[in-house]
């Protein structure tokens, strides 16, 4: 099932539940369950843009940065790291080698 279909079904369920609650409060009657909301698509389903590439991430630059860190920073050559530790407030890198 495609993402658009999933989102349409979720939206339909949400609208039905809100509409039923409002109808029940006003008249006590229930509305038709065939209520549907459809949105016009802004684009064709053609492959005009690459789907698998993230526009906010440059994978080649990430590889170059990882190589530089391994060559230039102490502890960068350690491949036994569980995770990279970042500051939760500003997301700056605190430690490249972290263990449990």
pLDDT in tens, 31-87: 555 556 566 666 555 555 555 667 788 888 888 988 888 788 776 666 667 788 889
Distance between CA atoms of residues 99 and 70, nearest Å: 17
Average pLDDT of 15-41?
Answer: 65
H helices of 3-100, where?
A: 3-26, 59-72
Element of type H or E holding 94: strand 93-98
Does pLDDT of 3 surpass 60? yes
Q: Which residue has the tokens 């939206």?
A: 11
Residue 77 half-sphere exposure toward CB, CA atoms < 13 A: 3
pLDDT at 45: 59
Reported confidence tier of residue 17, pLDDT bands at 50, 70, 90:
confident
pTM of the model: 0.32
Coil, helix or strand at residue 45: coil
């Amino acid at each position: 099932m495609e993402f658009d279909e999933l989102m349409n079904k979720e939206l339909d369920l949400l609208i039905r539940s809100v509409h039923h609650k409002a109808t029940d409060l006003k008249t006590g009657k229930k509305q038709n369950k065939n209520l549907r909301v459809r949105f016009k698509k802004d684009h064709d389903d053609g492959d005009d843009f690459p789907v698998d590439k993230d526009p906010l991430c440059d994978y080649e630059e990430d590889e170059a940065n990882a190589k530089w860190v391994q060559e230039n920073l102490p502890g960068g050559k350690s491949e036994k790291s569980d995770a990279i530790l970042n500051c939760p407030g500003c997301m700056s890198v605190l430690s490249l080698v972290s263990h449990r």
